[in-house]
């Protein structure tokens, strides 16, 4: 019997990201779809980004980017929140449903509720073909190049995020931001192997028991996604916080067996590096991911990943997701697990009996 090779699909999908982004960008240019969808969204409308799991974390970063670029209101919601607390949902808004598979029960129920009950016209984004979501939503963005064999989302996360960030740039008329993704793809491609070497060395050198990911602004959702990657692929205990929130209680857990990862922003750099210095002094093992590090950040980092990518800060969120993906993968492999087949997980969460049952019947 042929030996199962652990993680082959996942690692191939992680490395394929820059090429996948390029394919997506070529598709957007051909169809002009993001331009027409973006410009059709009213400037007064709040954008509500909705998803589950990694797709919810796409929503968090997309909502932050939307407000940064357009100055307009935006929020992110897990689909379940909309179903269980529909009364807290704004009646007038632009909902954007995010689902790699296009079949997640909560997202489908959310689409029915928004389209049929609230009479709102939804935009859905998915990577799969022939999906249930496209029959329920008014408009569809499809990224077939970003679909995956793996259960764990990697290139689908970054590619759906990239599309939604371009949608925001189109709404804002910020064409420089939209164009920066070509540079992002070219500059990220040669980095992934060196990032992998550093992450592998980190995992082999330190005895890490649990994981913390810290980020602010658009990088907070990236920190949450990294938490999920590590939990899914390595069955480890992982948490995320806004960087400066870590001081307000959670730092009690710090010790040499805690890996604290800092996703450094440019906007909050000096305040975030002050937390890094403090946490290093408390004895944590630290992984620092930033664009350009100063001597204090260098000194406080057990492992430093400097991206040096010449794009606006929020556009860098897509590349900032890769170290967390590689960390989840390599911790999983080091524990003898198969990242292609995470424990207890399925590729899509389909709930039975949603009518009046598990999903409380908002739709
Ligand atoms: C996303 C998701 C994944 C998670 C799990 C179940 O679903 O929640 O984030 O890893 O495998 O599905 P979707 O994007 O297809 O709706």
Domain parsing of the chain, residue ranges: 8-173, 187-334
Residue 3: the pLDDT is: 73
Of 2, 58, 13, 1, the C-alpha closest to 233 is 13
Residue 61: the pLDDT is: 98
Q: Cα 21 to the chain's mean position, in Å?
A: 14
- Distance in Å, CA 95 to ligand 1 centroid: 19
- Percent of the chain surpassing pLDDT 70: 96
Question: What does the pLDDT look like over 49-83, one tens digit per residue?
Answer: 999 999 999 999 999 999 999 999 999 999 999 99
Residue nearest to atom 5 of ligand 1 (CA): 347
Q: Which CATH class is domain 187-334?
A: alpha beta
Query: Which residues face 306 on adjacent strands?
Result: 290
Residue 363: the pLDDT is: 46
Q: Are strands 285-290 and 258-263 parallel, antiparallel or unpaired?
A: parallel
Residue 354: the pLDDT is: 53
CATH architecture of 8-173: 3-Layer(aba) Sandwich (3.40)
- Distance in Å, CA 230 to ligand 1 centroid: 15
Helix (H, G, I), strand (E, B) or coil at 85: coil
Question: Which atom of ligand 1 is the closest one to the Cα of 228?
Answer: 10
Q: With a 6 A CB cut-off, is 229 part of the ligand 1 pocket?
A: no
Residue nearest to atom 3 of ligand 1 (CA): 53
**Residue among 13, 146, 153, 161 whose CB has most ligand 1 atoms within 8 A, to mutate:** 153
Q: With a 6 A CB cut-off, is 105 part of the ligand 1 pocket?
A: no
**Residue among 125, 347, 351 whose CB has most ligand 1 atoms within 8 A, to mutate:** 347
Residue 43: the pLDDT is: 84
Across the 363 residues of the chain, what is the mean pLDDT of every consecutive 10-residue run?
83 98 97 94 93 98 98 97 93 95 97 96 97 97 96 97 98 96 97 98 96 98 98 97 97 96 97 98 98 97 97 98 98 96 89 58 49
Residue 91: the pLDDT is: 81
Q: With a 6 A CB cut-off, is 152 part of the ligand 1 pocket?
A: yes
Q: With a 6 A CB cut-off, is 341 part of the ligand 1 pocket?
A: no
Q: Edge-to-edge strands of the sheet including 139-142? A: 74-78, 47-51, 94-98, 123-126, 139-142
Question: What does the pLDDT look like over 193-211, one tens digit per residue?
Answer: 999 999 999 999 999 999 9
How far, in Å, CA of 50 to CA of 198, rounded? 34
Q: With a 6 A CB cut-off, is 128 part of the ligand 1 pocket?
A: no
Residue nearest to atom 11 of ligand 1 (CA): 347
Query: Which residues face 305 on adjacent strands?
Result: 289
């Amino acid at each position: 019997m042929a030996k199962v090779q652990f993680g082959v699909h996942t690692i191939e999908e992680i490395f394929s990201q820059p090429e996948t982004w390029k394919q997506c960008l070529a598709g957007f240019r051909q169809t002009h779809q993001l331009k027409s969808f973006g410009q059709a969204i009213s400037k007064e409308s709040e954008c509500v980004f909705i998803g589950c799991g990694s797709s919810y974390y796409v929503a968090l970063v997309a909502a932050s980017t939307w407000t940064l670029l357009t100055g307009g209101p935006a929020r992110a919601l897990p689909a379940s929140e909309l179903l269980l607390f529909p009364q807290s949902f704004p009646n007038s808004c632009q909902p954007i449903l995010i689902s790699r598979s296009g079949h997640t029960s909560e997202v489908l129920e959310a689409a029915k509720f928004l389209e049929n009950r609230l009479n709102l016209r939804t935009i859905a984004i998915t990577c799969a073909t022939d999906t249930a979501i496209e029959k329920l939503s008014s408009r569809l963005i499809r990224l077939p190049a970003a679909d995956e064999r793996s259960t764990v989302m990697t290139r689908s996360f970054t590619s759906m995020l990239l599309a939604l960030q371009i949608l925001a740039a189109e709404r804002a008329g910020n064409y420089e931001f939209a164009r920066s993704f070509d540079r992002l793809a070219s500059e990220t491609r040669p980095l992934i192997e060196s990032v992998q070497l550093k992450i592998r060395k980190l995992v082999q050198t330190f005895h890490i028991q649990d994981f913390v990911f810290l980020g602010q602004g658009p990088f907070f959702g990236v920190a949450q996604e990294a938490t999920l990657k590590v939990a899914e692929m390595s069955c480890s205990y992982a948490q995320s916080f806004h960087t400066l929130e870590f001081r307000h209680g959670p730092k009690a857990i710090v010790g040499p067996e805690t890996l604290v990862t800092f996703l450094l922003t440019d906007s909050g750099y000096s305040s975030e590096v002050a937390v890094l210095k403090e946490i290093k002094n408390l004895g944590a093992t630290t992984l620092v991911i930033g664009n350009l590090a100063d001597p204090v950040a260098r000194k406080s980092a057990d492992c430093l990943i400097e991206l040096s990518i010449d794009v606006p800060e929020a556009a860098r969120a897509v590349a900032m997701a890769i170290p967390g993906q590689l960390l989840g993968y390599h911790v999983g492999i080091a524990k003898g697990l198969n990242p292609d087949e995470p424990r207890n997980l399925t590729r899509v969460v389909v709930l039975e009996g949603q009518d009046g049952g598990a999903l409380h019947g908002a739709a």
